[in-house]
Amino acid sequence: MSFTTDVKRELCDGDLSRRQEKTVLYGFLYCLREQNAYFTEIPEVKDFLRRIAGEAKVPSTNRQRLGKSGFMLDFAALAYNASNFSVDSSYVDGRDENTGLFLRGAFLACGIVSDPNKEYHLEFSVGSSEKASELRRLITESGMNIKSSTRKGKALLYTKDSESISDILTFTGAMISSMEIMNAKIYKDLRNNVNRKVNCESANIEKTVSASRKQLDDIEYIEKSAGLGILAEELRTFAEIRRENIDLSLSEIGKMLGISRSGVYHRIKRISETADRLRERGE
């Protein structure tokens, strides 16, 4: 079962007045890709559309399509004029409620939305560029964002923005599905923040280990080539403590020696310079 199926089932749930049903039906017929015919695998969608259109006017037959079982609905008896591209203001009069009902029907006719746990994508495959333009106008005038595109020469509207998807679903009446989008985003953001922190900590650990390894290599080279006795007393003390406490941070070593962090760095630098001079001499 897909997330689109869940959304469409939710849009078919709840009681609507006859006036509201007509607005939903108008949005559906306006965006119907195949004039007079509609195939759905979802029984709730079939029952809802037949109810709001008048069951006697919309016959339904069981049908196989692309290997899937479903229902073919015939809307020919409703005599909708598909060539009329302008949205009828008697149905959509600028009020949010009526625009939302119209978009509910539009989504039932040609809408899809991806599982938010996988990706963010909502689409209206309108087909007609004129109708896509009208639909986009309604969506943007209601304060929501959506983009236009084409696929195989057919017009479509889409958005990959989670907030826009959530807003559109809420506007059409799919509040539960909208909440799932928001919950998925919260989870993804939390997971990404955790991953960033883990990666940052891992990088810091690798950096610390690398630095510690360099310090130990320098100390070992000095000891083998010339002996730690060539170092000044404070450097020799640091080298001995560092060698015996490889897991301690520089701050912790500084506390053991009673010196600041900058004092620790100064000793490391002098030891490194001594080791480099011995390497240059080949000692």
- Alpha-carbon gap, residue 248 to 233, rounded angstroms: 21
- Kindly give the pairing relationship between strand 60-65 and strand 68-74: antiparallel
Contact 110, 125 (CB under 8 A): yes
Q: Specify the range with the lowest mean pLDDT, choosing from 35-49, 76-90, 96-110, 154-168.
A: 76-90
| CA 258 – CA 40 distance, rounded (Å) | 78
CB of 157 within 8 A of CB of 139? yes
pTM of the predicted protein model: 0.70
Over pLDDT 90: what percentage of the chain?
Answer: 45
* Listed range (8-22, 194-208, 246-260) with the worst mean pLDDT: 194-208
Tell me which range, 53-67, 120-134, 227-241, is most confidently predicted by mean pLDDT. Answer: 120-134
Element (H, E) at 181: helix 175-225
pLDDT computed for residue 192 by the predictor: 78
Task: Quote the Cα angle for 4-80-6, to 5°.
Answer: 10
**H/E stretch holding 62:** strand 60-65
State both tokens at 239.
């080298």
pLDDT at residue 195 above 60? yes
Higher-scoring residue by pLDDT: 233, 11: 11
What tens digit of pLDDT does each residue of 91-119 get? 888 889 999 999 999 999 999 999 999 99
Strand bridging mode 68-74 / 111-113: unpaired
